[in-house]
Amino acid sequence: MSAPTFAVVGRPNKGKSSIVATLARDDSVYIDSRSGSTRWAREFPMQVNGETLYTLVDTPGIQRAREVMDWLQANCRDASQRPQAVRDFVEAHRSEERFADECQLLQPIVDGAGIIYVVDGSCPYGADYEAEMEILRWSGRPSLALINPIDNDDFADEWRDGLGQYFRTVRLFDAQRAQVTRQLELLDLFGHLDPSWQSSLARAVTLLNREREEQHSQCSLLIADMISAALTFQVSQKLPDGAPLEPVRKLLAANYRERQAKRERNCRRQVEELYHYHDLKRNEQALALEESDLFQLDDWYLWGLNRRSLVAVAGSAGAVLGGGFGLMVDGATGGLLGGLGTLISGTAGAVTGGVGAWKYSDEIAQYRLKGIPTGGKQVSYGPSRNLNFPFVLLGRALLHHRLLCHRTHADRSSLSLDTELLDQANDDQRRKLARCFARISSGKKVEEQRAQLASLILDRCRAHDTPTN
Ligand SMILES: Nc1nc2c(ncn2[C@@H]2O[C@H](COP(=O)(O)OP(=O)(O)O)[C@@H](O)[C@H]2O)c(=O)[nH]1
Ligand SMILES: [Mg+2]
Distance 31 CA to ligand 1 centre (A): 7
CATH number of 5-176: 3.40.50.300
Averaged pLDDT score across all residues of the chain: 82
Distance 45 CA to ligand 2 centre (A): 16
Give the residue extent of every domain in the chain. 5-176, 213-463
Structure confidence at residue 438 (pLDDT): 87
Structure confidence at residue 288 (pLDDT): 63
Nearest to 61 by CA among 87, 45, 41: 41
Structure confidence at residue 253 (pLDDT): 82
| Contact predicate 363/386, CB 8 Å | yes
Could you give the CA distance from residue 423 to residue 434 in angstroms, rounded to a whole number?
Answer: 14
Counting ligands in written order, the one closest to the CA of 15 is: 1
* 39 close to ligand 1 (CB < 6 Angstrom): no
Structure confidence at residue 321 (pLDDT): 45
Atom of ligand 1 nearest to the CA of 18: 15
* 413 close to ligand 1 (CB < 6 Angstrom): no
* Protein residue whose Cα sits closest to atom 3 of ligand 1: 150
* Protein residue whose Cα sits closest to atom 7 of ligand 1: 15
| Contact predicate 171/19, CB 8 Å | no
Q: How many helices (H) and strands (E) does the chain have?
A: 15, 11
Distance 34 CA to ligand 1 centre (A): 10
**DSSP state for residue 128 in the 8-state scheme:** G
* 59 close to ligand 1 (CB < 6 Angstrom): no
Contacts of 337 (CB under 8 A, 6+ apart): 245, 246
Could you give the CA distance from residue 306 to residue 436 in angstroms, rounded to a whole number?
Answer: 19
Structure confidence at residue 156 (pLDDT): 96
Q: Report, as ranges of residue numbers, the positions in the chain whose pLDDT lies below 70.
A: 1, 35-37, 287-366, 419-424, 469
Task: Give bridge partners of residue 6 from the DSSP assignment.
Answer: 56, 114
